[in-house]
Structures are given as structure tokens and as C-alpha cells.
Structure 1
Amino acid sequence: MKRQAMAAAMGAMAVFGTPKKAQAYDIDCAIMLCMAGGFPPSAVCARAYSTMIRRITPWPSLPPFGVCTFADVPIELGGPGGEGELDTNLPEYEWLNRTHVIWFTVRSYKKDDDGRVWGWSIKSCDRENRICTYLQRVNGADRPWFDTFVSQSGQEIDLPTRQRSGEYSLRSIMIEYGDYEGNMDHSEWFSY
């Protein structure tokens, strides 16, 4: 009887007394750290990448990440215990300043007897999606857009292709980012 009571008590403690598994970082920190490593394969980085993409795909788009607060890192593990923000203006975070949100829009219309006319633009915005620069802006072209373009960071990036014949309007978005070693990469295009 004593053994059964002891087993029941231990079982109750195991079920109700188990501490929650703490997250190492909040999601914004995970995005930054995974981006710095080029989004290596892991469950944390896969979640960080999908969260980043989910933020940029609605209209209007949100910035790909917010402020990294290290809010979930306890003081005993070197974190602030829920206080403070990561200062991304420090030199060791220069790679983060190479993050750009790239917008691609295209439209086409029939112009009387001249045939089809195309217009497209490629716009690159900072990581907060506030300061934007047009990399290309074409109106009244007699052919569709080029296959590639060169980004502000010097990458040659393939532009999206038409999904269906007869498609004359397209809006797509992607993220260009660099890792801590200076290597540049980018996400895939997301059209909506």
C-alpha cells in the first residue's frame, strides 16, 4: 500500500510538477541568429524562416523581424531576464544592415493597335521596410521583364516567371540577407 501511495505521489509530481521547457530566444532573436548562420537546417531556424516569410507576405507587408529582446533568456544563462533590447547598430551586427525586402510588380495591357505594353518595377527596402530605392522601373516596354537583376548587394537574382500564360499582373516579394561572414543569400519569391 505504501508503495502504491508513493508511486501515485511521484506520478502526480511528474505530471504537474514538470517545469516548462524554456525557449532559448524570442522569435526575433531566432530570426537574426539563424539569418547570421545562413538559416542552417534545424527546427528553430525552420520556424524562424517561416515566421519571417509570414511577416512579409500580407498586404501591407510587415518588417521581416522586430527587436530582439532576449526576453526568454534567464539572467543565469547570460540574458537580461526580459529587459533590454539588442543594439543592432554595433559593428558586429553590420551583416544585419544588409537585409533588404525586395518587391517586384509587373503589369501589362493592350494598347490599341500597338500590341501588348509591359511595365515593371523592382524596389529594394531596408529591413524595416521604410526606406526604399527603385532598382528598376520600366513603363511602356514592348516585351516582358528581364530574367535577372542585380541587387544593391551585388547578387544576380532570378526574377519570378509567369505562372500561367495570359497572366498580365504579378506582385512578388522576397528577402535578401547576409550572414555574419558577409555571404549574401535570399529567400524564394512569394507571389500574391
Structure 2
Amino acid sequence: MKRQAMAAAMGVMAVFGAPGKAQAYDIDCAIMLCMAGGFPPSAVCARAYRTMIRRITPWPSLPPFGVCTFAHVPVELGGPGGEGELDTTLPEYEWLNRTHVIWFTGQAYRERGGEQYWDWSLRSCDRENRTCRYIQRVYRSHTPWPEAFVSEGGQEIAYPTGGGSSYFYLRSIMVEYGDYEGNMGHSEWFSY
């Protein structure tokens, strides 16, 4: 329902909005707005999704998004037309510091002789990709990874699913974020 409402709102904006002003939003704003709606189908959200994935999939990853501002929007489109950066150390931007990129790598394999093993790891990086730490690292387990884990933000998050055969390799990534009221949320897993 939430996804449909967001898609409808984006559709109405696309039909009735002025094309010049629609381009006024920077890509960080588009990523945040589209992520909140689960990346509903639209040209803007498709571009936002591609940009976010392009930022977080290389190693080391770039931050998935920054602060949504109109800093680079020309004055004639209603923006300040400036080049200045926003001070994100202020208390009103604390929500941005709760953003983490969570990396998952897992595999199942069978050694000669027939025993099946599973390896998996979860790594969490801050929004600037300066600090990364392992949440979990397991090698040569006789059982698959569990159903869920507890993130740095205190959320219980389901592991990504994949495989189904005795040999597979899975690499996925997600973004955990908090809003300005302190509520935590997360994106779905993106496999790559």
C-alpha cells in the first residue's frame, strides 16, 4: 500500500510538475525520497537506484547518499545557487550518522568426501566508509546462516536468501538508516 501511494504521488508529480523544476532535486534527494517508497517504478527512481548501487558496490564503497540539499540549484529555479557544504555535525543531522552500509557474503560448498559447509560474514560501514567492522564472521559451519541478526541500530534484520543447491555464492548489500525522530529502517537486500 505504501509503495503504491508513493508511486501514485511520483506519477502525479511527473505529469503535473514542470520539467525544469523536477531536475532541481539533486540525486541525494531523489535517493532518499525513492528509498522511502521502496524505489517505485519511475525514471527518477530508476536513476536514483542505479546511482545508489553504483556508490555502494565498489570496495571501498562510497556513502550511499548524503544530505538532501538545494545547494547547487540555480537561483532561477528557487535554489541558493551556492557551492557551500552543509555542516552535518549539527544535532539536527544526527539521523545521518545512524546510516550504515551492511555487506553480506555467504557461500555453501561441499568438500571432497561429502561434508557440506557454510561460510558467511556481515560487515557494517559508517556512512563515510571510514569505519567498518565485522558484525559476524563464520567459517566452515555445519549449519547454514541463521534467519536474522541484530544490526548496530538495534534492528532484527533477516539475512538475504539465495542458493538452494549445495554449491552457491551470495553477495548482498543493504542500507540501514534512521530518521530525524530516531526511528530506524533499512532497505531490502541488493544482490550483486
User: Structure 1 length normalisation: TM-score?
Assistant: 0.73
Q: Distance in 1 between matches of 2:19 and 2:45?
A: 22
CA contact (8 A) 2:55 2:61 kept: yes
Q: Does 1:39 align with 2:40?
A: no
The verdict on how the C-alpha distance between 1:85 and 1:30 changes in structure 2, with shifts beyond 3 A counting, is farther
Structure 2 residue 145 is matched with structure 1 residue 148 = no
Cα distance, 1:129 vs structure 2: 2.3
Question: Radius of gyration: which is bigger?
Answer: 1
1:76-99 deviation line (CA, Å, top 9, x unaligned): 94x431320111111100001000
Equivalent residue number for residue 74 of structure 1: 75
**Stretches of structure 1 lacking an aligned partner (at least 5 in a row):** 1-18
Summarize the alignment of residues 80-99 of structure 1 with structure 2, pairs less than 5 Å apart.
80-99=80-99
Displacement of 1:136 in angstroms is 0.7
> 1:46 is matched by which residue type in structure 2?
C
Q: Which deviates further from its counterpart, 143-152 or 39-48? A: 39-48
1:162 aligned counterpart, secondary structure: coil
* 3-state DSSP of counterpart to 2:145: coil
What's the CA shift string for 1:23-63, capped at 9, x where partnerless? 3432124445x38xx72588698357513234324566432
- RMSD (Å), alpha carbons: 3.0
In structure 2, distance between residues paired with 1:104 and 1:76: 41
Measure the CA separation in 2 of the matches of 1:167 and 1:82: 53
Q: Give me the whole-angstrom Cα distance separating, in 1, the residues matched to 2:31 and 2:162.
A: 30
Deviates more, 1:84-93 or 1:156-165: 156-165
- Matched with 2:130 is 130
1:191 offset after TM fit, Å? 1.1
Whole-angstrom distance in 2 between the partners of 1:47 and 1:168: 29
Note if contact 1:100-1:126 (Cα within 8 Å) is conserved in structure 2. yes
Q: Judge conservation of contact 1:57–1:190 (CA < 8 Å) in 2.
A: no
The share of aligned pairs that are identical, in percent, is 61
